[in-house]
Amino acid sequence: MNIADLDTPALLVDLDIMESNIARTAKTCRDAGIAWRPHIKGQKTPEIVKKEIAAGAIGATCAKLGEAEIMAAAGITDLLIANQIVGAPKIARLIALLDHADVKVAVDSTINADALAAAATKAGKTLGVLIEVNTGMNRAGTEPGDPTLALARHIAATPGLTLRGVMGWEAHTVAMPDQAEKQAAIAAAIAKLVATAQAIRAAGIQCDIVSCGGTGSYPTCAQQPGVTEIQAGGLIFSDELYRTRFALDFPQALTLLATVTSRPTQTRIILDAGKKAMSSDAAPPRPLGLAATKPVALSAEHATIILDTPSATPAVGDKIQFVVGYSDTTVHLHEKIHAHRNGQIEQSWSVQARGRIS
């Protein structure tokens, strides 16, 4: 089937571009002597993750326990949940998942660590944890240095847990417009993380993993001494956010196909894909092949494009592709991703982790 034959809205990924982006990222990590554990919160599709592993990735980073369950069921077993798992129902699911995968989870408090430890001990299991360190983003995480070391000591003395390492997310750096300033800020953030890992080891506590590096920062993170793995995942799609705000130079692979449903004027185009098919929260989608300088406007079920100059084309019934504004908040809206090469669909993948938000 040609992509032009698809009903719309339809989410598309160009296999040639995505596979090239995967290979490039894997090579960057290989050349730097570090591991690649791609974050799959914006992919949510085991077939894509398996392509990354085939290229050299060691496993996957998940935002949610539900994503990890989907990945484990698909045979992807080296997993990091880069989030705190809190509450008895989730903790019970996490401990059960240890029967099927090597799952590691982020912690940043003794309260959470103790709850995890109690459940693991009751089940006769040991859970691997990474301490999340606040390297400047000011969201979750312990402060670098002594506060993190204190939590590491607590974990080391707690049955049911084993400290696998530390992780951080230097998100406060990724949108800095000055590239020299950005690189310096990333290096400073990672230095805090690495120094904290070194302090833990100096205290006689094992700390093997130093995990960081999102899509907007990974090229610099990969070069920092002491880093063992990066988590960048969105770069395989390289959406508008990553290209325009994060200065990522990867070609763009993920698009949304929509149909023109109305042409009220020669400068206004209405299409059948709105906020329920693609997001504009982080960056507006970009229509391909049209001379339109105003950002596309999205309502619930419609997109509106205003042309710079009047034109009778595209006509009602014609189809237009949009480069996705932000993959993380677009992929989860769809049941399928249609993978194509030169416009011919090779596979249609179920977005299996769609809706797995707990």
Helix 146-156 to helix 179-202 angle (10° resolution) is 40
DSSP one-letter code for 74: T
Q: Which of 235, 265, 294 is the last residue of a domain?
A: 235
Residue 135 has pLDDT above 90, yes or no: yes
57 lies in the same domain as 176? yes
Q: How far apart are CA 6 and CA 203, in angstroms?
A: 59
Q: How far apart are CA 60 and CA 84, in angstroms?
A: 16
148 lies in the same domain as 278? no
155 lies in the same domain as 55? yes
Mean pLDDT (whole number) for 98-119: 98
pLDDT band at 293 (very low <50, low <70, confident <90, very high): confident
Residue 73 has pLDDT above 90, yes or no: yes
Q: How far apart are CA 49 and CA 57, in angstroms?
A: 9
Strands 319-323 and 254-262: antiparallel
Mean pLDDT (whole number) for 55-78: 98
130 lies in the same domain as 276? no
pLDDT band at 230 (very low <50, low <70, confident <90, very high): very high
Q: Which of 235, 267, 298 is the last residue of a domain?
A: 235
pLDDT band at 140 (very low <50, low <70, confident <90, very high): very high
Mean pLDDT (whole number) for 304-330: 97
Considering the chain, what is the average pLDDT of its residues?
Answer: 97
Range of the domain at 301: 3-9+249-350
- Quickly list DSSP for 4-29: GGS-SSEEEEEHHHHHHHHHHHHHHH
Assess if residue 287 is contained within a domain.
Answer: yes
- Tens-place pLDDT, residues 157-216: 999 999 999 999 999 999 999 999 999 999 999 999 999 999 999 999 999 999 999 999
- Tens-place pLDDT, residues 78-94: 999 999 999 999 999 99
Assess if residue 289 is contained within a domain.
Answer: yes
277 lies in the same domain as 175? no
- Those residues whose C-beta lies under 8 Å from the C-beta of residue 114, and which sit 6 or more positions away, are 158
Under the phi-then-psi rule, with left for phi > 0, alpha for psi from -120 to 50, and beta for the rest, what region is 235? Answer: alpha
208 lies in the same domain as 255? no
pLDDT reported for residue 329: 97
pLDDT reported for residue 292: 83
63 lies in the same domain as 94? yes
Strands 10-14 and 336-341: parallel
Q: How far apart are CA 113 and CA 115, in angstroms?
A: 6
178 lies in the same domain as 274? no
DSSP one-letter code for 342: T
Residue 112 has pLDDT above 90, yes or no: yes
Question: 3-state DSSP: the chain helix, strand, coil percent, rounded to 5?
Answer: 35, 25, 45
SS3 of 156, please?
helix
Mean pLDDT (whole number) for 330-358: 97
pLDDT reported for residue 85: 98
Assess if residue 243 is contained within a domain.
Answer: no
Assess if residue 240 is contained within a domain.
Answer: no
Assess if residue 65 is contained within a domain.
Answer: yes
pLDDT reported for residue 61: 98
pLDDT reported for residue 58: 98
Tokens of 33: 């002597």
SS3 of 146, please?
helix
The share of the chain scoring above pLDDT 90, in percent, equals 99
Assess if residue 305 is contained within a domain.
Answer: yes
CATH of the domain at 299: 2.40.37.20
pLDDT band at 62 (very low <50, low <70, confident <90, very high): very high
- Tens-place pLDDT, residues 245-292: 998 999 999 999 999 999 999 999 999 999 999 999 999 999 999 988
Assess if residue 21 is contained within a domain.
Answer: no
pLDDT reported for residue 107: 98
SS3 of 149, please?
helix
179 lies in the same domain as 91? yes
173 lies in the same domain as 301? no
